[in-house]
Amino acid sequence: MDNCCESLVKYILFLFNFVFAITGLALIGLGAYVKIQADHYLDFVGTGYVNTPIFIIIVGLVIFVIAFFGCCGACKESPCMMYTYAVILCFILIAEVGAGIAAYILQGALKEEVTKNMKVAMQNYKTDGHDGVTQTWDLVQHDLKCCGVEGPGDWANTTYTFTPDSCCVGQEIEGCGTDAKKEKYERGCLKVFEDEFLANIGIVGGVAIGIACIQAIGVFFACCIGNRIRRQGDYV
């Protein structure tokens, strides 16, 4: 009966780490996608967040390596590998709980940072040496179907003074932004950012804490297997 239970624990740990490894690969894919497809959106969240996709890729890679390490330890029944795996997983668990708490705490601060960076970027729209800002605003307004920070009226208070063509509803025609008869997007980009991205930070924090709880089970299983293997070695 004991051997059956111990084998079951070993297989559960192996399955746990297999899923954990897939999660790591998913994070690597997510980080790569954000870096390639949505990198321009990060210009509005400040320099402290620009490297977020790289950080996600690194975290995913670390998770994958640790999960592979745990699978090998469970298959080979190495107590050293099991204890090492449990210790490393504990550090990751603590980091994830901290990240989850920070996500809740910094949610308001991130909104303020986005608002400030959007307004600063608007003042540099279509100015010499700020082609990246111009491209970012055009891409964001076109893709998210929004205009300005709070609304299209914000552009009247900038150095550009006109409404960009990327604010036009439907087909963008050169000069449509200055045409009063052409319909413009009424939603401000800050509201879209808040609905699509900032509002999900709390969910991300909750998921991080949830994953940490699952990892705590993995630590328990790893310690059980390590103790069982060590006891068997003592009687050899």
pLDDT tens, the chain, 236 aa long: 445 555 666 677 777 777 777 877 877 877 777 667 666 666 666 555 556 667 777 877 888 888 777 777 667 666 777 777 778 877 877 777 776 676 667 666 777 778 888 888 899 898 888 887 888 899 888 888 999 999 999 998 898 888 999 999 987 788 888 888 889 999 998 888 777 766 666 666 666 677 777 777 777 777 777 677 666 654 34
The vertex-135 CA angle with 142 and 199, nearest 5°, equals 55
Tell me what percent of the chain is helix, strand and coil, each rounded to the nearest 5: 75, 0, 20
- Bridge partners, residue 184, by sequence: 168
Task: State pTM to two decimals.
Answer: 0.61
CATH of domain 109-194: 1.10.1450.10
Instruction: Give the Cα separation of 148 and 101 in Å (integer).
Output: 31
List the end-to-end C-alpha distance of the chain, in Å, as a whole number: 20
Positive or negative CA dihedral for 205, 210, 213, 217? negative
Q: Where are the domains of the chain?
A: 2-100+206-234, 109-194
101 closest CA partner among 212, 219, 217, 216: 212
Reduced 3-state DSSP string for 198-223: HHHHHHHHHHHHHHHHHHHHHHHHHH
CA-based R_g, the chain, Å = 25
d(CA 221, CA 122): 54
